[in-house]
Amino acid sequence: MKDLELVGDVTDFLLLEAELADASAYDEWLALWDDPCTYWVPCNLDDYDPTKHVSIIYDDRARLEERCFRLTAGGAHSQEPRSKVCRVVGNIRVVNPHGEDDTVEATARTILVELRLGRKSVYAARVHYTLRRTPEGFKLRHKKVLLLDADEPLGNMTFLI
């Protein structure tokens, strides 16, 4: 029997995360994340060991805070003007309702259109989320974004993926 209430709660959270990322609402977006946490966008291949292989993004909590600080401090030319981003999160599935540390694991697909300086780019990704249950609701423990283009030459990816 599916726990439809859990699927609904997870869906609400993932869509909120997507909305805040689209809106470049860096503070509110950062507030969704757990401490510690990992924001991982692998490079070249999906399952490379990040201790032995370069990633497009491999942020721990401290680096994630640096990322958001950088994008709000002024002078991040690659986001001035900011990217306009519109993403759809679909195919949401709870793949493990009872993960370690009172977490829920979910997967989804994202199609993301970015518009900046008159140029439109389309990205697609499989995304793996680990959400920790807290009294205040879910916190994002891990987000792993498997870009379709992870092994292709990419342009400016400084928007929130």
Partner 1 sequence: MADYAALVQPDRVHSAVFTSEDIYKDELEKIFYRYWVYVAHESEIPRPGDYCTKWIGEKQLIVSRAADGSIGIFFNRCRHRGAAVCMDEYGNANFFRCPYHGWTYNSAGDLVGVPYPSRYGEGFDKSTLGLARVPRVDTSAGFIFASMAPDGPPLAEHLGKAAGFLADFVKASPLGTVSLSAGTSKSAFWGNWKFVGMDGYHTNFTHKTVLDLRQRKAGASYNRGAGNSDKSANESWDLGNGHCRLDLTGRDKVAIGAASNTSIAAGIPDNADGHEYMRLMSEAYGDGAHEVIRRSRDVHIHVWPNLQLIGSQVRVIRPLAAGHTEVMSYPAMLDGVPDSINTERIRSFEWFSGVASFGTPDDTEVFERNQIGLRADYIPWLVLARGLTVAPQEDGSTVGNVTDEVPQRAQMKAWLRSMTSPEVS
Q: Which residues bind partner 1 (CB under 8 A)?
A: 41, 43-45, 48, 50-58, 63, 66-67, 69-70, 73-78, 117, 151-158, 161
Contact 112, 89 (CB under 8 A): no
Identity of the residue, 72 or 96, whose beta carbon is nearer to partner 1 in the bound complex: 72
Identity of the residue, 52 or 98, whose beta carbon is nearer to partner 1 in the bound complex: 52
> What is the C-alpha to C-alpha distance for residues 67 and 63, in angstroms, rounded to an integer?
6
Identity of the residue, 61 or 133, whose beta carbon is nearer to partner 1 in the bound complex: 61
What is the nearest approach in angstroms of partner 1 to the Cβ of residue 54? 5
Among residues 48, 30, 47, the alpha carbon closest in space to that of 39 is found at: 30
What is the nearest approach in angstroms of partner 1 to the Cβ of residue 94? 28
What is the nearest approach in angstroms of partner 1 to the Cβ of residue 2? 35
* Residue corresponding to tokens 């205040």: 136
What is the nearest approach in angstroms of partner 1 to the Cβ of residue 154? 4
Identity of the residue, 16 or 157, whose beta carbon is nearer to partner 1 in the bound complex: 157
Is omega for the bond preceding 36 within 30 degrees of 0, making it cis?
Answer: yes
As beta bridge partners, residue 109 has 90, 126
What is the nearest approach in angstroms of partner 1 to the Cβ of residue 86? 19
Contact 108, 130 (CB under 8 A): no
Residues 122, 106, 68, CA angle at the centre, nearest 5°? Answer: 55
Report the first-to-last Cα separation within the chain, whole angstroms. 33
Identity of the residue, 41 or 140, whose beta carbon is nearer to partner 1 in the bound complex: 41
